[in-house]
Structure 1
């Protein structure tokens, strides 16, 4: 009674069949979808790598630096390892995008970097070393003077007891 006509809906839908033997990535299939008739005139604006969107119009050397944990030297190293020049992200092929994603995921980036830094500070505070004690007290731990400055590390009106872990 309320059963949809599956044959007519299959005929109207555009289907993309990818043989198992071919080595196509999802990015290539996505580009094929964008070139199909409903998506004419639209383009991909950015590539998502490591939970961060990389803009298409920038060169890869600067676009990779948008990812937390990847600086100038690391971005250069990634591009050298993959043998990709400093071209805009929109000019990458699907295979290059996948290899870029895999290479970036070998580094500690984003939320994992935050968790690792927090665990390192917690470890220092637990073993009661000099740096750990400075973290507990809320003072700078890299030798900066505290007599007249260090207002970003020392609170302005006095330390709150909630900020000091016991």
Structure 2
């Protein structure tokens, strides 16, 4: 068993800092939050407050395999990030590039079927019901344009 400290640890294909607590280091992986990281660590019998760099190679391998197949750990379905997948019909948890690709495909599907959300995505507008009157403005700024000063305004300025 190696007792040396690792400053960079590769878990589930992502380089993580070894000087962070296990739960917070795992939260740097796309698709894993602090709550999920703590739940996974506890299920594997690891202390979530322990520094990631102090884990042995076997524990890192065990952790990496568990993160790739979180559904098999027996966590409640509400902790998974893809419940009732519309195409597969099962509860799944996606991480890293799998999550990014799936979200991009979902948006493309919404655009293809021309749902309300898909149309909002196409137009580059807010999708989740936020106000658009004052926020989310992009493009050229619109302001008040000053015209030529009248003789009366010139006298007031002097």
Displacement of 1:72: 1.3
CA distance in 1: counterparts of 2:39 and 2:5, whole angstroms: 29
* Aligned positions of 1:1-166 closer than 5 A: 31=2, 44-86=6-48, 87-106=50-69, 107-151=93-137, 155-157=138-140
Provide structure 2 residue ranges, at least 5 long, that are not aligned to the other structure. Answer: 70-92, 142-158
Q: Partner of 2:27: helix, strand, or coil?
A: helix
Q: After TM superposition, where is structure 1 displaced by more than 3 Å over at least 4 residues in a row?
A: none
Displacement of 1:62: 0.7
Q: Partner of 2:47: helix, strand, or coil?
A: coil
Number of aligned positions between the proteins: 117
Displacement of 1:156: 1.7
Displacement of 1:50: 2.0
What whole-Å deviation, never above 9, does each CA across 1:38-74 have from its counterpart, x for those lacking one?
A: xxxx863221012211211111011101111111121
Provide structure 1 residue ranges, at least 5 long, that are not aligned to the other structure. Answer: 1-27, 36-41, 159-166
